[in-house]
Structure 1
Amino acid sequence: MPHHVKYAEQMSALSSNPQVRDALGLSEKMTSLNGTLNFITFITEEEEKKRQYSRVMLDENKDPIGVITLKDVDWNKRTCHMGTWIGYPFWGRGYNALAKKEILAIAFFKLDLKIVFAGAKKTNTRSLKAQEKLPYISLDKGKEFPNDLEQIEASSKKTLVFDSVKFPLKKFKLPQEKNSAFPKKSSFFVSLR
């Protein structure tokens, strides 16, 4: 779902949780309601400039559970960086893999990108393990893409493990429904539209 101020209070509460805020390296000011409203304004402007594509992740009850973003879109190289955070109450429920599958379908089939990079702080073992579970991701690609790694480390001010997903995708199935990458039988639902 596109970002909207109607989600601001819930998103602020989710991102303010110390497990999420600390993993993302955000300040209390950034995760406050005002900080969240500023983020929504920023991300809306970035989308209009076609620099980012960001969505609020909604669960089966249409409640916000996190954010997933394609950022630093380079239209010449057809690349971008992917960032995700999920609210602490929703960790371990499979939403990460579902959201990544949906956003990658958008990246490769709607935006016609060729490579999506996924970085995680070396100290964020939870994110690293989550990425290792994805069968279509190529792990530790920093040496293959040193300039891209340097760019994202500079913007995040963190040392990262740098993974990538290239098109054509191996071990990745096309969306099975017209509006979602997830089958109807799935016990999960993550809406990004």
Structure 2
Amino acid sequence: MISETARLILRPWQESDAEDLYRYASDPQIGPIAGWPVHTSIENSLEIIKGVLSKPETYAVVLKSAGHAVGSIGLMIGDASNIGLPNDEGEIGYWIGVPFWGQGLVPEAVNEIIRYGFEDLNLKQLWCGYFEGNTKSKRVQEKCGFKYHHTNENIPWPLMNDIRTEHISCLPKNEWKEKINQ
């Protein structure tokens, strides 16, 4: 899928994005709060593109005005999710580089992935999670219509070699339809 919004293009990651990925993913304000280690080199970012960001339904968030990737968004369907979902449900994950915080770009990307998940993939329900303390991610979910569902405490998180508390929110398709038809 390649999709456009007013300010963004969502497209598959390319190996040529490694330098841009490293530029933003090497910032310690991004990865650790999202659950992954800071990128240590362009080569490290290239390996992440090849191994993680090449998975199905994982997209570079490209700011049209910048012309390069500034973040990432993904839709993990069924077993691919981190929270164990049936095959007709998906989990959305996202991040964006610090210079682009506070501009409404992540909600714009998330709303497009929601539309894609419900209209094109016919998913019945979408989920999002955020780790304790990640108030920016919580706010994105609220803006996009997700409602708090439950909290998982004391989750071992091997990527960061720590224990986490994760808050899970949910958006059923029927609630999304009501929201867009208002």
TM-score, reference length from structure 1: 0.72
Query: In the aligned structure 2, how far is the partner of 1:26 from the partner of 1:65?
Result: 17
Query: In the aligned structure 1, how far is the partner of 2:43 from the partner of 2:53?
Result: 15
Query: In the aligned structure 1, how far is the partner of 2:37 from the partner of 2:156?
Result: 18
Aligned with residue 115 of structure 1, among 107, 117, 125: 125
Query: In the aligned structure 2, how far is the partner of 1:80 from the partner of 1:38?
Result: 25
C-alpha contact 2:12 2:54 (8 A) present in aligned 1? no
Aligned with residue 72 of structure 2, among 67, 75, 86: 67
Residues 18-27 or 119-128, more deviating: 18-27
Residues 59-68 or 82-91, more deviating: 59-68
C-alpha contact 1:121 1:159 (8 A) present in aligned 2? yes
1:4 aligns with 2:18: no
Structure 2 counterpart of 1:92: 102
Query: In the aligned structure 1, how far is the partner of 2:88 from the partner of 2:171?
Result: 12
Structure 2 counterpart of 1:166: 172
Higher helix share: 1
Pair 1:113–1:155, CA change in 2 (3 A): farther
TM-score, reference length from structure 2: 0.76
Q: Which has the higher contact order (CA 8 A, sep 6+)?
A: 1
C-alpha contact 1:21 1:31 (8 A) present in aligned 2? no
Structure 1 residue 45: Cα displacement? 5.4
1:59-94 CA-partner distances (Å, limit 9, x unpaired): 122221100011253485411211000000000001
Higher strand share: 2
Listed as ranges, the gaps of 5+ residues in structure 1 are 48-52, 144-148, 174-193
Aligned with residue 55 of structure 1, among 51, 54, 59: 59
Aligned with residue 32 of structure 1, among 2, 19, 41: 41
Letter in 2 for 1:39: I
Letter in 1 for 2:126: V
1:46 aligns with 2:55: yes
Q: What is the count of residue pairs matched by the alignment?
A: 158
1:114-141 CA-partner distances (Å, limit 9, x unpaired): 111100012212211232223x222x21
Pairwise CA RMSD: 2.4
Structure 1 residue 163: Cα displacement? 0.3
Over the matched positions of the two proteins, sequence identity in percent amounts to 26
Pair 1:77–1:142, CA change in 2 (3 A): farther
Query: In the aligned structure 2, how far is the partner of 1:31 from the partner of 1:112?
Result: 38
For the residue of structure 2 that corresponds to 1:26, the secondary structure is coil
For the residue of structure 2 that corresponds to 1:71, the secondary structure is strand
